[in-house]
Structure 1
């Protein structure tokens, strides 16, 4: 029969093992019952998860994905902010059975979410289509955004706003689905979200000039959105910075997270500089 000391050691080992297993379990972003919520708004159930405390920070993901793509950002930023990660309409758990989809709808969904949470203004990180939605949120509801970071957005749907290979690839996907015949619900949703990027958005450089919130425009030097297009966006938002990341494509938030996260945090927490006259030499 084991001694009292042996029993205590075995019990301690079991507790430590259980503790280690608990710590090692990753958070299931996008499927976390403890953090997940639904908002019934504008004909859909909008799914979102909240983490951390502090000033609100909204995360808007790219086309065809969900909040899960921010697995590098949620744990980092939730140390400093109340992070609200959202599944955009027709993505993730925010299902949408309608035949149409627009960036304006998405921006208005996010505004409704802010209103429901009594958020007067917030920080925003938008990646790709999420960046487009952030721009439209700043245009349609300008009081809602304190500062925003937009990584890889585009203003118009053609091969000057999207890399030609990527644009023609989306055309082939849509064409294949149109000729397939009867589509499953998942295929219908794929067609809808693909055609969103084929035919939208329709923004102008002139529209950007009314945006008042400080903005950081981000992109890879080999991004799916041409660097010239990103430069045009940054040049026409009055209080903006431009960060073109070397040796990077469209997924800066994933592959350059160690640079992206602290730089964005510093941008949010530091007053914006203006560069006029001889300040351009500094």
Structure 2
């Protein structure tokens, strides 16, 4: 999942395909979103400090086969901030309220980093809203982060982020160009929020595609444990159906490199959403 300073060098601003831009009232904020493409609905959720453009080419790619609803979270991009902490349950509830506001009863969801964790909470808190969830760079317990990142969290300060390049990018889109320090405070606190979702994840009925880099912010062991909680990891070819959930590991891929691998992401996400599986020797 995104994790603060790790994302700084990877926020490459790139345009998306033609999209209809809108705002809608959601839980006291004006939420900005874009709709593009045709097909089954797919809600796309960005990472922390990101926005729709910084998600890069994956949104227009997915819009070739889906009607994509890409949103910008509280205080991010063009969505206004409100006097409320940024937490994963809050973000999930915002997505559910957004779907109600645009009359989207149920949809597939693709989230990256913070957006993936919000998507996981959406499936936990509002299971009737989510058909399938593709979650890239996500975890379910803060104990699963790499040791280096766990050691870095207590050192985070607002000053550390306000001089980074994406701080200036924030000003170009933000409803409040001077609101970046307040956003940073909330996102640093988000890193410190308790995160221990194992019972809720284990109870999920929603199919989940777990995507991670082999050098991601969560350890490989944690990512595999997440997949097993979702019912994955059993041997195939033994007469039992495969788990509806799936696992994909991108080689030579750090956390911030995950979202830029458009072709690989699309190759994993599309078959999952369509329910396609590779054919083996046995039926």
TM-score tier by shorter-chain length is 0.7 to 0.9
- Alignment partner of 1:221: what SS? strand
Q: Is the 8 A contact 1:48 1:87 kept in 2?
A: yes
Q: Is the 8 A contact 1:47 1:94 kept in 2?
A: yes
Mapped to 1, the partners of 2:139 and 2:118 lie a distance apart of: 10
Mapped to 2, the partners of 1:234 and 1:28 lie a distance apart of: 33
Report the counterpart of residue 150 of structure 2 in structure 1.
167
Match 2:207 to one of 211, 214, 221:
214
- Alignment partner of 2:255: what SS? coil
Mapped to 2, the partners of 1:93 and 1:260 lie a distance apart of: 26
The alpha-carbon deviation at position 140 of structure 1 amounts to: 0.9
Runs of 4+ with deviation above 6 angstroms? 279-282
RMSD: 2.6
Match 1:263 to one of 245, 254, 268:
268
The alpha-carbon deviation at position 223 of structure 1 amounts to: 0.5
What 5-or-longer segments of structure 1 have no aligned partner?
1-25, 178-183, 274-278
Report the counterpart of residue 79 of structure 1 in structure 2.
64
The alpha-carbon deviation at position 204 of structure 1 amounts to: 2.5
Q: Which region of structure 1 is more displaced relative to structure 2, 162-171 or 100-109?
A: 162-171
Tell me whether 1:234 sits opposite 2:227 in the alignment.
yes
Mapped to 2, the partners of 1:281 and 1:198 lie a distance apart of: 48
What 5-or-longer segments of structure 2 have no aligned partner?
1-12, 161-177, 232-243
| Residues 71-111 of structure 1: per-residue CA shift (max 9 Å, x gap) | 21111111110011111112111121315221111111111
User: 1:116-265 alignment to 2 at 5 Å?
Assistant: 116-157=101-142, 160-174=143-157, 185-200=179-194, 202-238=195-231, 239-265=244-270
**Structure 1 residues 249 and 85, CA gap change in structure 2 (3 angstroms):** same
The alpha-carbon deviation at position 203 of structure 1 amounts to: 3.2
- Alignment partner of 2:144: what SS? coil
Mapped to 2, the partners of 1:171 and 1:68 lie a distance apart of: 30
TM-score normalized by the length of structure 2: 0.77
Report the counterpart of residue 170 of structure 2 in structure 1.
none
User: 1:39-78 alignment to 2 at 5 Å?
Assistant: 39-78=24-63
- Alignment partner of 1:251: what SS? helix
Q: Is the 8 A contact 1:223 1:250 kept in 2?
A: yes
TM-score normalized by the length of structure 1: 0.77
